[in-house]
Amino acid sequence: MTAGGQRERPDLRADCGSCFALCCVALNFFKSAEFALDKPAGRPCANLREDHGCAIHANLRERGFSGCTVFECFGAGQKVSQHTFEGVGWRQDPDTARRMFAVFPVMRQLHELLWYMNDALDLAAAEPVHAALRRAIEETDRLTGAGAETILSADVAALRERVNVLLTRASELARAEVERRGRNHRGGDLIGAKLAGADLRGANLRGALLVAADLRKADLRLADVIGADLRDADLRGADLRGCLFLTRSQLQSAKGDAATRLAPGCARPAHWAA
């Protein structure tokens, strides 16, 4: 089950065993607190083995690669590897590699949209937009099943805008259930904010910067956290049940403990305190 308690869509969950380690090759990253070294796009990570496994997978955080532990492809890796390129890996052909590395980030965007739309379908209060969401899901699913050139020529920005209208409406309908809705913090700078024990039920936290924010024992039920940056946010004892559009990546990037309340079936990150 996903972080948000979403309906089962195995194809929207990363299956690293069916992927040619595309996140370790296709993407670029820079030396920072999350990555211990610079790596340009198209070059394999120094820790990548010949079998597409990671040589330091069990110790990524300790070795300075916490960014790898929070990355989420939403199943795009295996879709590109096994469907778009029919199991032909990037090591086998330079032209395949070039096209595969170009398709992967686009496919990831499409799968992310699918993840959010399927999450919205789980919101009973958002029933007025369910039909439109299903149509958008069908359209996006068709695109993800197309050939590489079709995917690369797709206007993903326009699709994202249309989908965002539906997700925003779904969020509004769901959060309307909260009698006293939280303040609108959309896109707000809440870095290091002191919000321990805060009643944030139904709050709009879309795109908010909550890096290192103190959210201990905060009530985040039905808060919309799509795109919120929760890196090092302290969620110990917080109530995240029913939190809207909460992803595994967001949980992995934050700090929590055994008292953090999650939706049923939601996996508690291994690095959280006991």
Give the domain ranges of the chain: 181-263
User: What gap in Å lies between CA 244 and CA 184, rounded to an integer?
Assistant: 15
Are 3 and 266 spatial neighbours (Cβ–Cβ below 8 Å)? Answer: yes
What are the tens digits of pLDDT across the range 44-79? 999 999 999 999 999 999 999 999 999 999 999 999
Q: Provide the CB-side half-sphere exposure for 75 (13 A, CA).
A: 18
- 181-263: in CATH 2.160.20.80: yes
pLDDT block averages, 10 residues each, the chain of length 274 = 57 95 95 93 95 94 94 97 96 92 98 97 96 98 98 98 98 87 87 97 96 98 97 98 95 97 90 88
What are the tens digits of pLDDT across the range 9-31? 899 999 999 999 999 999 999 99
User: What gap in Å lies between CA 114 and CA 6, rounded to an integer?
Assistant: 11
pTM of the model: 0.93
Tokens of 181: 């809705």
